[in-house]
Amino acid sequence: MKEKKVTLSSKVTKIGRSYPESIKRKIVGEINTGLISHRGASKKYGINRKSIDNWITQLSLLNLKPLEIAQNTMVDIREETKARILAKQVLDLTKELEKAKLKISSLETMIEVSEQDLHIRIRKKPGTKQS
């Protein structure tokens, strides 16, 4: 199949039916750090918001290296913007922590209910030796 370069509104160059990985990572990085919103990225780069949402799912912060994101975006930014980015990162980390705590709590509750209903010990006794 022949690859065809297409330029959308002279904003982002599309190769064939998809965008280059570097463009995807750049846009997702800007959104994750709070430099731009989903809608703003869509307007700025001329890309459908659904496509950008899919990229964020694919290239979520779990797959990206936080130091790499921070170094790439914090190179040439004013102090005011840096503070906003750091505040957003703290908020995101706080949300992730709350989500993890809720998951742990729900798993512990499931174990307790299972132990009561099935009358079996699921948890190990503390201090038992491993074989």
List the CATH number of the domain containing 37: 1.10.10
Most confident of the following: 1-10, 47-56, 89-98: 89-98
Let me know if residue 128 belongs to a domain: no
Q: How many domains does the chain have?
A: 2
- Domain stop point among 76, 100, 115: 76
Does the model's pTM come out above 0.95? no
Q: What is the pLDDT of residues 18-37, one digit of tens each?
A: 888 888 888 888 888 888 88
Domain range for 54: 1-76
Asked if the structure places residue 129 within a domain, the reply is no
Q: Which amino acid is at 55?
A: W
Residue 123, C-beta contacts closer than 8 angstroms, at least 6 positions apart: 111, 115
Q: Which two tokens stand for residue 125?
A: 């006794």
**Are residues 83 and 72 part of one domain?**
no
- Extract the tokens encoding 53: 């949402």
Given this model, what pLDDT does residue 109 score? 94
Do 56 and 94 sit in the same domain of this protein? no
Residue among 47, 53, 51 nearest 11 (CA) = 47
